[in-house]
Amino acid sequence: MKGYLVLGHGGKEVVFSGELIGAELKEPISGEVVFNTSMSGYQEILTDPSYAGQIITFTSAHIGNTGVNAEDMESKKIHARGMIISQYCETPIHYQTNATLDDFLKKNNVTGLHGVDTRALTLYLRERGVVPGFITNEKSFADKRVPKFYPENHDWIMDVTTKEPYWLKATQPKYKVIAYDYGVKAQLLRELQARGCDVWVVPADYPAEKVLKAFKDEKMNGVFLSNGPGDPSVATYAVKNVKEILGKMPLFGVCMGHQILALALGAKTYKLKYGHRGGNQPVKNLVSSSVEISSHNHGYAVDPSTLPATAKTSHVNLNDECCEGISVPSMNAFSVQYHPESSPGPHDSSYLFDQFINNFSK
């Protein structure tokens, strides 16, 4: 069936056409339209909670080639509102495949659009910046039924965080880590488990006093701040908790966790024009002078000029000089804007998990 992606920008409508895929479209689907430049890993991207509220445009030409499988899930379901692709592969070939992408979308009640000129769409988003849009069919488009968009200040973190704390056990436990779930990817937790960490995953608004009590009573070794969706400045509860924890436990933040740490230090964040989303971002480690090719998914960034004297920029993006990492030695805390667990993406930055564990003894 024919479908459309309708973008709203400055009171003008821009329309891209294609064919509908996945769940039956009963009403228009709205979301912030973004693009991801990863060449692989569409299943991990779709199930990343950081994409809550967004319609993802995949710039890779062919999507669906490897189907989907149980191993590559980053959460229990698709969190993206929809997906836009150029060419859909109906017959995937991979030894792990147990369903097609179309079946996967239907199971998760998510609609996509294929046959779209994603090159033109991506160029539009790069020039104008990310914009609200909606996926619709011929009838609803003709009826001009425009759905209500979520406001900029919607708290997506509380939509995706765990409702109750839970434990993840390591095969050979050596340490105990508390992980704040702002929309955590499964591979981040697996990386900690693989290094001997039992992980106690807690909701995004879990009180700092309970974390500090667990640190004392359960002999916890550190706190991990996860990735997550939306505007970090909306999550005032997270900033408050991290302020109370800072300097009392070793701390490591990733993506949203990086931004929350910066806000807790008194710095400011800002929205990027079209964000960083993909597995090919060059980042320079200012301590070692080495360059990492890294995996990204964020629409906001930290303003390094607002960091206090106790914090320093540790990593920068070589494309746009965006702040990619901060270090606060006096508080035994550090964070990065990108994803060291990859999934999908390169593994250049996995050393950061080891750095976190080494900080347990400081």
SS3 content of the chain, % helix, strand, coil (to 5): 25, 35, 40
Task: Give residue for tokens 């319609």.
Answer: 55
CA dist 242 and 260 (Å) reads 8
Q: Which two tokens stand for residue 22?
A: 């996945």
**Mind telling me the catalytic residues?**
255, 339, 341
- Nearest Cα neighbor of 84 from 54, 62, 55, 108 is 55
Helix (H) or strand (E) holding 8: strand 2-9
* Helices assigned H by DSSP within the chain: 42-46, 101-107, 118-128, 138-142, 157-160, 186-194, 208-217, 236-245, 256-264, 351-358
Report which DSSP code applies to 250: -
Nearest to 134 by CA among 35, 46, 33, 48: 33
User: Count of CB atoms within 10 A of residue 233's CB?
Assistant: 16
